[in-house]
Amino acid sequence: MTNPLLAPIDQLIDYAQIEAAHIEPAISQLLEQARAEVERIATQPTATWDSTVTALHNATEQLWRAWTIVGHLNSVINSPALRDAKTQCLPQITEFSTWLGQHPGLYQQYLNLAQSEAFNHYNAEQKRAIELALRDFRLGGVELQGADRQRYGEISEQQALAAQRFSENVLDSMDQWALYVTERSQLDGIPEDVLAAFAEAAAADHKEGWKITLKMPSYLPVMQYASQRELRHTLYKAYATIASDQANQPELDNSEVIENLLRLRAEESQLLGHTSFAELRLETRMADTAEQVIDFLNDLAQRALPFARQDYEQLKAYAAELGIDDFQPWDATYVSEKLRQAQYNYSEDEIKQYFTEPQVLNGLFHVAQQLFGVAIKPTELSTWHPDVRAYQVLDATQTLIGYLYIDMYARAGKQGGAWVNSERSRRQTAQGLHLPVTYLVCNFSSPQDGKPALLTHDDVITLFHESGHALHNLLSTVDEPDVSAFAAVEWDAIELPSQFMENFCWEYPVLTTLSAHVDTGAPLPFALYQKLLAAKNFQSGMQMVRQVEFALFDMLVHHQPQGLSITEVLDTLDQVRSQVAVILPPSWHRFPHAFSHLFAGGYGAGYYSYKWAEVLSADAYAAFEENAIPLADGSRNTLVAETGRLFRDEILAIGGVRSAADSFHAFRGRQPSPDALLRHSGLVENAA
């Protein structure tokens, strides 16, 4: 039987044929082949670009693609068999990765290249690739000796296993929790389309009534609309205690996993000569020191706190008008939605009727074409689930430049949240061009009653955000994968394209292409758009300090010379909240236990990136505002092709060939300024 994971690198993967039984044989075979080839490369008498860098890619590219696919499938169609297969291979993969990063012979070959006469004649991509490789060798422990080298390998394996366990505990804790409601009155206030989904979920379990889960399309509407306060409290507590000691699933408690990860990360940083894991991570970031990041976050907090406190007092006052005198955190989302409706005379549910998924996707593709000159067209490819759709990405000459898979809906066995990953980056080889293959994953509500799926405006923003990541990979003109966007752009700048794309979701000419009422097909009315825009910065102060809270907590727990106990972790969070939060959760709240960004998603000591890159993205979008075309109805068209082409050439296409700071300067002609972010967020007096 042919193993689909062993398909040649220049062929597309037959996802529908992949089974858990394929994983271990494929990974073992590819590991063996790669190891033998690396040894050959490392012992060659003379290093050249082709005999070293090109040969190393040829040796490992198929392995890393197969492992990316395994991780991806584990996230989107998780099953016991898939999970076991990944767990079985994880130690081998981690050991190989550590061995590769510490290989003295391979390191010497790259040093020889850097010191050779030929280096002076390499192009910018080649020089950057070698410089980054030498940096990564050092950060990978290549200079460690003896017991330290062995311990580094053990730490790497233990971290990988702990991160996987963290992710699995969160997924299982969410999937195993459900609330079945049999009395319709308990669901008062929840929109009918949401109730239909709840009823369908209960029927699928052969139960009467309605099934509520902790997946976001189920959880959020309850918190927004359910008039039954006790129901909101039940959902809030279940969500706030996922994978923790406060849930009734002790085997899924992430307390020990968090302690282990923090201890291992601190030990890793000490081995590599750094005072903390945060300082280690900042070796590959735009920011220089943890103190610089903390100062940046504290400055944002101080600017936002007066607005956040105003937001909170307004919320409490309105809660009292609703008869809620003892305002609690599980009331916040509900009261916010009621206040929004009262202030701006619209509801999220009303807006949602205009954002049908097919129209939103068509509108997104229109924006990409207007800005960047690319067409995104459906194509028939093998997928991992019937809901997944595949697309070809074509440039202005109708030349194929990449493939995009979109997986939109929440389901059991699928990790929550939204993300983008790359199965394969663009690479120019002697045999031809390998085109990028990109996954875009969301967790939206699925279609109901024969109608298309309806997205909230926040969902639309999420989709545009992820499309920015996808386009960063798909529009690359970089020939060397080592300096592609996802491989080489500094982590605290990687959110620039994604946050940049969000801005278009607030422009009326764009929204008319994104919207078509589910019943009438009419676009979003201008009057309703004006209400939406007026509410854009509704509670933006509270939103800003909440993100600062997450980022400060992350930086502080990782800027330690050693690990922390779970009590110390929670104490740190409490200290941060006392400084920057305006809504203080109850003592049983266990937010860190499900904070997968930090403990399973690569954002450890990096969550500040969202705010750091938001400064860059807001300033970048200001260039489109400055060049916008005025329209007869008084609105403006920010889909300016000339500015879009510059953004594509200087930010998206260039990947990590140069530093993110240099790329931003090439686009904007100056250093970034936070003024646009504060203006867009309404955190300045008389903000437009």
What is the set of active-site residues?
466
Strands 432-434 and 400-409, by their bridges, are unpaired
Task: Name 49's bridge partners.
Answer: none
The answer to whether residues 443 and 437 touch, using CB atoms and an 8 Å cutoff, is: no
Q: Looking at this protein, which amino acid is placed at residue 420?
A: V
CA distance 170 to 342: 36
From residue 74, how far is each of 13, 190, 523, 627 by CA, in Å? 16, 33, 38, 44
Q: What is the CA radius of gyration of the chain?
A: 25
Contact between 438 and 471 (Cβ < 8 Å): no
The answer to whether residues 517 and 454 touch, using CB atoms and an 8 Å cutoff, is no
CA 630/CA 107 separation, integer angstroms = 56
DSSP E strands in 2-116: the ranges are: none
Is the sign of the CA dihedral 485, 487, 493, 499 positive or negative? positive
**Distance (Å, rounded) from C-alpha 103 to C-alpha 149?**
11
Q: How far apart are CA 96 and CA 13, in angstroms?
A: 24
Task: Please report the sign of the dihedral spanned by the C-alpha atoms of residue 342, residue 348, residue 353, residue 358.
Answer: positive
With a CB cutoff of 8 Å and minimum separation 6, the contacts of 440 are: 404, 405, 406, 407, 420, 466, 467, 469, 470
- Angle at 98 (CA atoms; ends 658, 267), nearest 5 degrees: 95
SS3 for 331? helix
Is residue 657 a contact partner of residue 125, using CB atoms and an 8 Å limit?
yes
Q: How far apart are the first and last CA of the chain?
A: 62
Q: Which amino acid is at 219?
A: Y
Token duo for residue 59: 């040796």
> CA 165 to CA 415: how far, in whole Å?
13
* Three-class secondary structure of residue 683 per DSSP: coil
Per DSSP bridges, beta strands 437-444 and 400-409 are parallel
127-150: buried (b, 16+ CB within 10 Å) or exposed (e) per residue? bbbbebbbebbebbbbebeeeebe
- Look at the block and give the residue holding tokens 């686009």: 667
Question: Structure tokens of 585?
Answer: 């959760």
315, two tokens: 């919320």
Provide the residue type at 57 as one letter.
H
SS3 letters for 443-504? Answer: EECCCCCCCCCECCHHHHHHHHHHHHHHHHHHCCCCCCHHHCHHHHCCHHHCCHHHHHHHHH
Strands (E), 77-226: 179-181, 210-212
Q: In what order do the strands lie in the sheet with 419-424?
A: 375-379, 389-394, 400-409, 437-444, 419-424
What's the Cα-to-Cα distance from 524 to each of 7, 359, 452, rounded to whole Å? 46, 12, 17
Structure tokens given for 386:
């019937």
